[in-house]
Amino acid sequence: MVSMFQTPLTAAEIKEKALSLGADIVGIADGAVMNANPPNPDDPQIPSDVTDHDADRVIVIGQRVSLGAARILDWSDRHKYVNDELTITALEEIALDLVRWLEKSGYPALVVPTTHVDPWRYDGNPETHIRPPISHEHAAVEAGLGTLGLNLQLLTPEYGPRVQLTAVLSSVPVEPDSRMEESLCLGPECGRCLSACPGDAIKQWDRDWAACNEHRQPHSFKEMSRYLESVIDEPDPEVQKKMLRNEDSFYLWTSILRGAGVVTGCRRCQDVCPVGADYEDLLKDALDHISEDTAVKQTRLASIQADEAAGNRGDAYPAQARWIGKFTD
């Protein structure tokens, strides 16, 4: 890159620009640190896999989700899916405007949205959990925006887990942020995310992604494949014809149209989490009671609490400890 075409920028100027474009939170991670600390060593999800040239910095941008949608208790209510999809759309525009602004200053940049998966990751099995090219949650921790919780969701001091994220890669030479040292998660003693999870997908500092995906992406490619197969396999032509025009096919069509239910879906674990300055005043009155809780979940939570008290944080914890943060106990 010819530096004479570049206008010097600071981290503060980049953050101010992102906030002025509509971001609610923004932080800057060091691409080299992310490359050295892949969140999943078997599937590294690191910036250098995206681009060789323009990933020295990972600018992580977040926008809070609509609280009115969070206060709707049914995880599968489509108003929730649609509102989250609108937030993702707004974030896409903010990120693209930031890319153009950086490039006007002489720094090539690109957006890596959470909704993007590389086709080469698809192995022909619709059950496979396909991760995006980088883990935005881990990038957000590296960018100083928060820490990971019991189910590895990002928790932020401002909005808890109630944020959507995107990332802009650029080799603009600015000071990166530092990780938060202390965990924001209240741990299994809280366990509200586990109690609320309709897929029973939350483990001890881990998540059963296959079980979660059934809910967080209810009209995903997998579901569309499954539905089309059932149409093809239907022997009665009249029933088959009706299957083209029923509620299932309608939801699939609207989901393909806007992405609601494909890139958005269940977020009960985000809604009920008490972390975040927004929870007490704006959410607690509607979300304090968790109707999905069961005796079986409470027994499992008690077992996890007993393990933690004995110093055993579970098999998944060591690999994620960097991003979960330290506990004060």
d(CA 174, CA 172): 6
In the complex with ligand SF4, which residue's Cβ is closer, 95 or 155? 155
Count of residues engaged in binding ligand SF4, rule: CB under 6 A: 28
Contacting residue, 63, 87, 151, 217, with ligand SF4 by CB under 6 A: 151
**Quick one: which of 34, 32, 22 has its CA closest to 133?**
34
Told to check if 191 binds ligand SF4 by CB under 6 A, we report yes
Q: Tokens 């992310």 map to which residue?
A: 34
Stretch that binds ligand SF4, among 27-35, 201-209, 229-237, 283-291 (CB under 6 A): 201-209
Shortest Cβ distance from residue 93 to ligand SF4 (Å)? Answer: 25
Site map for ligand SF4, 215-234, x if CB under 6 A?
xx------------------
Shortest Cβ distance from residue 112 to ligand SF4 (Å)? Answer: 21
- φ/ψ region of 302 (left if φ > 0, alpha if ψ in -120 to 50, else beta) reads alpha
Residue nearest to ligand SF4 (CB): 149
Name which of residues 1 to 60 contact ligand SF4 (CB under 6 A): none
- φ/ψ region of 152 (left if φ > 0, alpha if ψ in -120 to 50, else beta) reads left
d(CA 245, CA 235): 17
- 3-state SS, residue 238: helix
d(CA 182, CA 275): 13
Told to check if 199 binds ligand SF4 by CB under 6 A, we report yes
* Token pair for 151: 């189910």
Helix or strand run (H / E) with residue 113? strand 109-113
Told to check if 266 binds ligand SF4 by CB under 6 A, we report yes
Stretch that binds ligand SF4, among 8-16, 26-34, 53-61, 261-269 (CB under 6 A): 261-269
What residues make contact with ligand SF4 under the rule CB under 6 A? 149-151, 155, 185-187, 190-193, 196-199, 201-202, 207, 212, 215-216, 266-269, 273-275
